[in-house]
Structures are given as C-alpha cells and as structure tokens.
Amino acid sequence: MQNFDVIIIGGGFLGLSTAYQLSKMGVKTLLLEAGDIGGGTSASCSGRAQTCEGHLDPLNIQIIRDGLARHETLEEELGARYDWRKIGLFLLIRSEELWQRWQERSAILTPAGIPTEVVDRVALQKAEPNMNTSHLLGAAYSVEGMLDPLKFSLAYANAAQRQGAVILGRSKVTGFEVKNHQITAVKTKNTVYRAEKVAVMAGAWTSKVTRMAGVSVPVHFTHAEALVTERIPPMIYNNVELADFYETIHGKAKAVAIGVHPQLNGTLDISEAVTTTDQLHKGVSAWGVTSISKELVRLYPSLEKVRIVRTWGRPTSFTPDEEPLIGWVPGIDNLFVGTSLVITITTVPLLSEWMALMIQGKQSPVSMDEYSPTRFAVPAL
Ligand SMILES: Cc1cc2nc3c(=O)[nH]c(=O)nc-3n(C[C@H](O)[C@H](O)[C@H](O)COP(=O)(O)OP(=O)(O)OC[C@H]3O[C@@H](n4cnc5c(N)ncnc54)[C@H](O)[C@@H]3O)c2cc1C
C-alpha cells in the first residue's frame, strides 16, 4: 500500500506537466503511465506550438498567447533543452470562402496579440519556392513554436522527479476501488495505491480509464498516421498546414490533411492521414502512407524520390464541442479530468499550473468553468 496526495493517470504532456507543477507546489504526487513516458500520443506528435488555429473565444486566445510566452523561459526552468524554436507557418488557402474567413480571423487575432496575416499566392511562392502553388489562392501566415516532443516529455518527467514526484512507467492502471462516491484506491497489476485525489490525464484513453471508476466522459478520438523522410538539403523553410485542417478531417471515415514540418536534423515530419475508428491503436496502413505521400508530392513535386524512413500512428482525443475537458467529474467527488486541449503544446505550460491549483481545491487565476465536464451529461455506468 502506498499513499499520496494526488495520483495522476497518464504520462503524456498533460500528466507530466501537471505532476511537475503539483510537486513544485509541495503536493505528494504519483504518476502512473501504462507504457513508456510520452509513449501514448505526446512523444509522437509533430511538436508544433500552434498559435493562430484555435477557437477565437477570449479564454482560448489568452491561453495560447500566454502559453506561448511561457515557452520562452521553460527550457531554463525545467533544466533541459528540447529544441525550442520559432518558425513561420503557412496555412494553405484553397477557396474564396477560406480566404474571407482567414481575413476575418486575422482581424481578431492580430490585435489580440497573435499576429496573423493573409498572403497571396505570389508571396507564398516567394517564401516557399519549391512548392506547387497552382491550386492555391494563398495562405494565412503566422509564427509558431517548434520543439522535440520526446525531449519535451522527458524534460517535464525529469523536472517533476527532481521536485519529488514519483513517475512510474510500465504501470497500467487496471481498476479502482470506489466507496461513497470517492475513489479510495488505484490498482495496477501488482500494487494498490491510495490518494486523496485522482486526476485522469490519459488522452485518447481517458474515457476507457474513467469507465473503470464507473463514469463515462465524452472523450472521442481519431487515429492519425504520420511519417518522417530521410535527410534532405534545405528546401522547405516554414511549417505548412491546411487552413481548413479540422473541416478536412472531421466527420470523414478517412481523410488526409497534409502537414509538412522541417526538422533540425534535415528530415521532414509529414502528417497526417486520419481515420475515424473506435479502436485505440498505434498502427499504420498502406492507405495512410500512400495517401500522405501523394499529397506531399502534389505539393512538392521535387520530393517524388525522397525516401520515407519511418511511419507511425497515434490516436488524438477530442470532445463533442472540440473544447478542452478540464475539471471535476460529476458523480465521483475526488476524480479530476484533464484532456483534449486541442492546441496542446502551446497551452500546456500554463494550463498545467492552473490544473495543479484546481486539483488542490484552489482557484485558477482565470476561471476554466467553460471547460468543465459539467457542460456534458456524465452518466454513471
Ligand atoms: C500525428 C500527430 C501529430 C500531432 N501534432 C501535434 C502538434 O504538432 N502540436 C500539438 O499541440 N498537438 C499535436 N498532436 C496532438 C497531441 O499529440 C496531443 O494533444 C497530446 O499528445 C495529448 O497529450 P495527453 O497527455 O493528453 O495524452 P497522451 O500523450 O496520449 O498521454 C496519455 C497517456 O495515458 C496513458 N494511459 C492510458 N491508459 C492508461 C492506464 N490505464 N494506466 C496508465 N496510463 C494510461 C497512455 O499510455 C498515454 O501515454 C498531434 C497528434 C498526432 C497523432
């Protein structure tokens, strides 16, 4: 039997950063991760600290702007380098309707502190001379952050441990003991742990985990495949994504939303082929790799002969309204949930601190009530 103030379930960006914040605040924290640290979705993502693609409500704009600012000093705070850098982002515009929409978004984002502009095809071609822009009207342009997602995960894990947190990989939670609407024990195969509070930060697995405690939270997921190329001489200078990324993938059984991200080591990280599925898995498909490759070569014809070094797939979680899910779960008094941030890397340094305060029963500096699970029906099973 082992006793803690807080047990966090899930060793991705959310769980690790919240474990760091809690332990820094003097809270005795245990983190249980089913696989390797970061081995869920976090360490396998593209590493973009997105800026201009989020919802336009005031809270979302604030957490993106202030979260990005936190990154400027976070490597120093965590005592580890994770290749933080700034890079331009072009969001490709393929229709008049999108052109208009991004003009309107830019007019809101720029004065709010997230400078964004719409550029025409000539300007895009000048910035990315190797891109085939023939099917494009132009792009929305902004500056965003980039990092190495595995190093970022490990930076948080190591910093949390230095603050006294116990971080256990290969420790899958297999069940809970629940009495009088309280989780009284968290079970792994070989050990039973106790804590006053339990925080489920299990990404796409969140709903599966809370179900073991008898409550169902509305966390869904899509499955995304990505690939990395061999090293090539520099020929892509900015991150490139679709301006209608979410419309392109959501509600479709299968869709490709091409994203191209030049890496420091000369490779290209290319995302993503997305499948709607009820299976949580880490696999890839012939369809995914082929479809991404076709879109890549359409956009950059000179990459036709470039070799793919590795492919992978991971689930990404989202809620029905595509807003984060953060707060106490109705029906179980000591169960907190944090997941589906959407713009995750940018906001996690800030939101992890706010979540750590909430878990202790304190106020976060800005209310996150709009992200509370109470906005959905959370049925007891
Ligand atoms: C291809 C791809 C590219 C992406 N690119 C970006 C990007 O550039 N920028 C960005 O911000 N976001 C990106 N994302 C999304 C981002 O990766 C996720 O939002 C983020 O990783 C979620 O972090 P998390 O901590 O919530 O979940 P995870 O990292 O999935 O962590 C949850 C953990 O819970 C663990 N777990 C599950 N069940 C149990 C259990 N029973 N017991 C113990 N542990 C358990 C899992 O093993 C997992 O490690 C991308 C996603 C994909 C798939």
Q: What is the pLDDT of residues 338-354, one digit of tens each?
A: 999 999 999 999 999 99
Q: What backbone phi and psi angles, to 5 degrees, belong to 5? A: -75, -45
| Ligand 1 mean position, distance from CA 203 (Å) | 5
Q: Share the mean pLDDT of the chain.
A: 97
Burial of 234 (0-12, 13-18, 19+ CB in 10 A): exposed
Closest CA to 320 of 211, 207, 224: 207
Decide: 112 and 61 in contact? Cβ < 8 Å.
Answer: yes
Q: Is the CB of 347 under 6 A from ligand 1?
A: no
Q: Are strands 116-120 and 325-328 parallel, antiparallel or unpaired?
A: unpaired
Is 80 exceeded by the pLDDT of residue 122? yes
> Where residue 377 falls among pLDDT bands split at 50, 70, 90?
confident
Per-residue confidence (pLDDT) for residue 381, from 0 to 100 = 74
Report how far residue 173's alpha carbon sits from residue 182's, in angstroms, rounded to the nearest whole number. Answer: 17
| 272 vs 240: CA distance, rounded Å | 12
Pocket of ligand 1 contains residue 10 by CB under 6 Å = yes
145 CA to centre of ligand 1 in angstroms: 18
Q: With a 6 A CB cut-off, is 186 part of the ligand 1 pocket?
A: no
**Partners of 31 in the β-ladder:** 8, 167
Answer whether residue 41 shows pLDDT above 80.
yes
Task: Summarize the confidence of residues 194-214 as an average pLDDT.
Answer: 98
Any idea which of 24-33, 235-244, 370-379 has the lowest mean pLDDT? Answer: 370-379
Q: What tokens appear for 290 in the block? A: 């082929």
Nearest-10 crossing angle of helices 344-359, 13-24: 40
Determine if ligand 1 sits within 6 Å of the CB of residue 60: no
Q: Is the Cβ atom of 11 under 6 angstroms away from ligand 1? A: yes
Q: How far apart are CA 301 and CA 253, in angstroms?
A: 27
The verdict on the CB of residue 39 being under 6 Å from ligand 1 is yes
Q: Is any ligand 1 atom within 6 A of the Cβ of residue 284?
A: no
Distance, CA of 345 to CA of 57 (rounded, Å) = 19
Residue nearest to atom 13 of ligand 1 (CA): 45
> What pLDDT is recorded for position 1?
55
Helical residues (DSSP H) of the chain, grouped into ranges: 13-24, 58-78, 96-109, 121-127, 149-162, 206-211, 245-249, 286-299, 344-359
CB distance 212 to ligand 1 below 6 Å? no
Which of 173, 188, 205 is the pocket-test mutation for ligand 1 (most atoms within 8 Å of CB)? 205
What is the pLDDT averaged over residues 68-91? 98
Ligand 1 centroid–CA 261 distance in Å is: 19
Which of 9, 16, 41, 311 best tests ligand 1's pocket when mutated (most atoms within 8 Å of CB)? 41
Supply the pLDDT for residue 11.
98
Residues 241-290 pLDDT 10s: 999 998 999 889 999 999 999 999 999 999 999 999 999 999 999 999 99
3-state secondary structure of 45: coil
Q: How far apart are CA 203 and CA 352, in angstroms?
A: 14
Q: How far is the CA of 149 from the centre of ligand 1 (A)?
A: 10
Using a CB cutoff of 8 Å and minimum separation of 24, what contacts does 108-112 make? 108/56, 109/52, 109/56, 109/61, 109/142, 112/61, 112/65
Decide: 223 in ligand 1 pocket, CB within 6 A.
Answer: no
Find out whether the beta carbon of 47 lies less than 6 Å from any atom of ligand 1. Answer: yes
Please return the burial class of 126, using the count of CB atoms within 10 Å of its CB with bins 0-12, 13-18 and 19+: exposed
Atom number in ligand 1 closest to CA 32: 43
Q: 360: CA distance to ligand 1 center in Å?
A: 24
Backbone phi, then psi, for 186, in 5-degree steps?
Answer: -115, 125
Distance (Å) from CA 282 to ligand 1 centroid: 11
pLDDT at 250: 81
Ligand 1 within 6 A of CB of 33: yes
C-alpha–C-alpha distance, residues 88 and 146, integer Å? 10
Residue 174 banded pLDDT, cuts 50, 70, 90: very high
pLDDT of 380 strictly over 80:
no
What residues contact residue 248 under an 8 Å CB cut-off, 6+ apart? 242, 255, 256, 257
Contact 20, 163 (CB under 8 A): yes
d(CA 319, CA 204): 10
Residue nearest to atom 21 of ligand 1 (CA): 42
- Give buried/exposed letters for 21-50 (b at 16+ CB in 10 A, else e): bbbbeebbbbbbbbeebbbbbbbbbbbbbb
Sorted by where each starts, the structural domains of the chain and their CATH numbers stand as 2-46+150-219+321-375 (3.50.50.60), 85-146+221-318 (3.30.9.10)
Among residues 45, 144, 28, 39, the alpha carbon closest in space to that of 91 is found at: 144
Residues 6 or more apart in contact with residue 144 via CB below 8 angstroms:
48, 49, 50, 51, 52, 68, 86, 87, 88, 89, 239, 346
Contact criterion met (CB below 8 Å) for 217 and 330: no
Centre of ligand 1 to C-alpha 41, Å, is: 3
pTM over 0.95: yes
Atom of ligand 1 nearest to the CA of 261: 8
Share of the chain above pLDDT 70, in %: 99
Q: Which atom of ligand 1 is nearest to the CA of 14?
A: 25
User: Which atom belonging to ligand 1 lies closest to the Cα atom of 204?
Assistant: 30
